[in-house]
Amino acid sequence: MTTDRIVLKGLRARGRHGVLPAERELGQEFVVDATLFLDTRPAAAGDDLTKTVHYGELAEALVKVVEGEPVDLIETLAQRLADVCLESPLVSAARVSVHKPAAPIPLPFDDVVVTIERRRA
């Protein structure tokens, strides 16, 4: 696997994901970390944005997923986000973490996180 990485960390968006009716009705903030694995040498050699991933456009695409169609599980949300990360043929693999800091847990906790890693087939 290529060792170069582009990391987008702490991307925040409001979504209506979860199994409880209140989660669907009220929504809550989700935080996304995405790591893309790719070879950045061609972009660096020519100082050429077209030979890498535009992280601003990636952020916008990921937020659309979080704000979009609700799902029950953050595992499903993570998979959808990973699919977006792998849309660029330059990306060989992606690691996505979905944080749900306001998960409906009746005990003190800091965060709930699901992390997945997907490779291009």
Under DSSP, is residue 96 helix (H, G, I), strand (E, B) or coil? strand
Q: Is 100 a catalytic residue?
A: yes
Among 9, 51, 64, 100, the one annotated catalytic: 100
User: What tokens does 46 get?
Assistant: 């020519």
d(CA 99, CA 78): 10
Contact between 5 and 37 under an 8 Å Cβ cutoff? The reply is yes
Phi, psi of 26 (to 5 degrees): -90, -30
Contact between 15 and 28 under an 8 Å Cβ cutoff? The reply is yes
Q: Report, as residue numbers or ranges, the catalytic residues.
A: 100
